[in-house]
Amino acid sequence: MTEKNFIFSILYDYYGDLLKDSQSNIIDLYYNQDYSLSEIAEEISISRQGVYDALKRAEKSLMEYEEKIKLHYKYDKYSKAAENIISLADKIKDKIYIDTINEIKAQANKIINEG
């Protein structure tokens, strides 16, 4: 087994609700709750190979959703723009604008924190 790729944990946050319950459960156990394949096999009473196959199918589905919908890609762009806004706002040093700057930063943080 190769190392766990936690991009699937992120994609699961976005698209997990589109997976079948059984696949959703396996991704959650493997990536979010750090179970091994053997532990999942025991937990849901199927073979280790069965878990592996279901996991690969679920990962493939998550990648296909991202290719079609691009939510992770878009959110990544939005949050980078919002981070740039925050560092630009910090360049404005006049105390007279402090409330405005703080509001700009609060609005940008809304974008960053609500992905």
Residues that bind a copy of itself (CB under 8 A): 14-15, 17-18, 65, 68-69, 71, 74-75, 77-78, 81-82, 84-85, 88-89, 91-92, 94, 97, 100, 103-104, 107-108, 110-111, 114-115
Contact present, 109 and 86 (Cβ < 8 Å) = yes
What is the 8-class DSSP label of residue 33? S
What is the 8-class DSSP label of residue 2? P
Q: What share of the chain is helix, strand, coil (3-state, %, to 5)?
A: 80, 0, 20
Q: How far is the CB of 69 from a copy of itself (least distance, A)?
A: 7
Q: How far is the CB of 50 from a copy of itself (least distance, A)?
A: 26
For residues 32 and 109, which CB has a smaller minimum distance to a copy of itself in the complex? 109
